[in-house]
Amino acid sequence: MSRKLPFTVGAQNPYREGGLYGCAIVLAMFGLPFIVGIVILLCGILTVAIDHIVYSYIPLIIVILIGTIILVCCTIPFVILVRKYRLGIQLEREGQVIAGYIVSIERELQRDEDLQSHWIILYYDFQSPTGKSFQKKVRVLRDDLIDKPLPEIGTTISIKYLNDEVYRVI
């Protein structure tokens, strides 16, 4: 009863072939504010170094505080995104393929004014190499499957598994 699922497409893997296109977006989103934060922070520090210019420390404290807030607000999401990206690459390189099966599968149509989105909601079950059993759900936007039949309950699926926290239906 094993067959390839119609929504298993290798080209959709963001960590293969051209997966670095998002790096430019990430650098634009976090790089510029990060640099602005550093410049503001350095201006505050240089103002302290040139002690005789400062008549009141309140504006200086505000400048240093704003620079620090900008740095923190840019650094934390950037670190989270980089970690997620690196785990995806590690999953692709070191992960093993294990079997699971479909517990339930549903279609969901969402309509906006002029747009219609077709979502596939897959409930699946698998047992990890450590012996732990997982029952999970994944929701995927697949407009190309509107007219195609969905796989039956119990159909075998493949799961790329790295550890009990990092895995993905392929």
pLDDT digits (tens, 9 = 90+) for 91-113: 889 989 999 999 999 988 888 77
Local confidence band at 9 (pLDDT 50, 70, 90 cut-offs) = very low
**What pTM does this model have?**
0.60
Per-residue pLDDT reduced to its tens digit, 18-47: 445 555 666 666 666 777 777 777 777 776
Q: Token digits for 34? A: 């990060």
**Averaged pLDDT score across all residues of the chain:** 76
CB 136 within 8 A of CB 124: yes
Q: What is the pLDDT of residue 29?
A: 67
Task: Give the three-state DSSP class for 48.
Answer: helix
Burial class (CB in 10 A: 0-12, 13-18, 19+), 52: exposed
For the domain made up of 95-169, give the CATH fold: OB fold (Dihydrolipoamide Acetyltransferase, E2P) (2.40.50)
Does residue 13 register a pLDDT over 90? no
